[in-house]
Structure 1
Amino acid sequence: MRLLTHLSRLASLVFLVWLLTFANVPRTAVGGVSRNTGNKPLADRITRLPKKWRREGRQKRITKFIQDHCEAAWSKIIKEGFARLGSSSPQTVQEHRLSVKQRFLEEAEIERLTPEEVMEGLCQIDVHEIDEVVTGDRARLKLPHRRDQRQAYVEGWWPEADWLPTSPGGVSPRWKREWQEGKAAAYEFVRQRAGKHLADIIIEVYDDFHGGRSKVSRLARDCHYAETVSEGIRERVPVPHFALEALSAVATPRIRERVMREYKEAVERKEQKPIF
């Protein structure tokens, strides 16, 4: 059935190209050579169609994989870092993912992303959580074993050399190391359930998100940084480490300013420690 669909699309494309070849459109001469000037925009749109179909097909396959193999697991995995910091109602990975996606939709509207770019960003947000189906949510700080020592540890914490990127939109050594560790787990998880081809596709998306390789992936990642800080403030757990990371890593000035404003307001309410 899928083969028939592709053949039908190919036949339609060939027919449209044939029409362009023989269409009665205005022609102009430049330097004695006739040149067709009327069909270029339409031809460009036609040549973009196969690429659009491939992109949409990939996104549908990824979405189905997420639904079949990830969503149920995510709904049972608690955000371990916030739980260990004393949150009475920590989000699940599924709730966190949906919160980040909602923020991305709001920011995408402000940035005037195209529908295709919006779908790309939402897909990246989904894919970057796949490794947690395997590993669970990993606390990014090495917190003390004793609960009564954890909050004091975070409040007295100051960034280690590998925690912050050197420029907005950049990648810190810590982030890069966690990215590579998660990538290996995600790849094997997908490969075992859907084969190497889909695993290769998904890991390409995974790398796009973590590396911030495009304006879409940078915006999606910015929303992830910002939402993590906002959620920590809402859950009343100390997040100076995440606030400093976000203020150093977020590429979008407007989002960076919002994070700073939210954190300063939490400091004024004596819910977070000053970091400035």
Structure 2
Amino acid sequence: MTTLISVQINGEANVANNLDKVEALVKQACEKADKNNDSQHKLVVLPECFSVFGISGLRMLEHAETQGSGYIQTKLSELAKQLQCYIVAGTTPIIDADITRDPYKYYAASLAYSPSGKCIARYNKIHLFDVEVEDETKSYKESRYTLAGEHLSLFKTPFAEVAQSICYDLRFPDMFSAYCRYTLTQKAPDIIVVPSAFTHKTGSAHWHALLKARSIENQCYIVAPNQVGTHADKRQTFGNSCIYSPWGECLDIIEHGEGFAMATYNKVVVESVRRKMPVQSHKQRSYKVKR
């Protein structure tokens, strides 16, 4: 049996405090999974900016690490190994040692760890949040200090293949469809993770609608942890961390406060939904528009 865990925190400007919160919640969730479900496998997903949040992009650079080393990555590796779980670690600011595009920017990198503590996948956020929102922050310009990623990322586990996305990516269905196109030799992933820091304004309007749509369109589980509450820079995030089924059902949710949502992954459910309604094989790869 496999348990999916979506962790919700109120991220602070202090890295150590955030990692302490994460460690406590992940331990609690894994213990509950083992007790309730005799869980053979556990997939834990942390929200975007789980290690540091509510500070400027310039200050975020102070906490950036290079791939494979640093305080944040060491703690994640140790936690995955200690609890024998898979961890998809929201986003960590990563600066590549050989970067030439811009030495004063970092990637918002989602790192995945196996129960051995090894980093097995990395996804750099592709769609950056450069928008106007009617809230306290007003204007968001993520690209000022963040480099956009260029490649999608999946990783394999003994129970399923997992596809990665981050927050604002959720608004781009073509990205999710790209993951879920399959052929005779390539199957669609059963699980897509969406670590997020959706604002309260945008989240209250669109969060559940988007998650439900992506799960239905791609007939897969969606694990969507989110930041929650008011942060150091007065930004407000929506919470409502949850897990959606391949049929578009919200299996579990934590609306407010820090904690986690949990659900059981069932491969039979994915296969049944896709067999009975084979939308991927019915989908046209291109359309002609006649005006």
TM-score range, shorter chain: under 0.3
More helix by share: 1
Q: Compute the TM-score of the two structures, normalised by the length of structure 2.
A: 0.24
Higher relative contact order (Cα pairs below 8 Å, separated by 6+ residues) = 2
Choose 1 or 2 for highest CA Rg. 1
More strand by share: 2
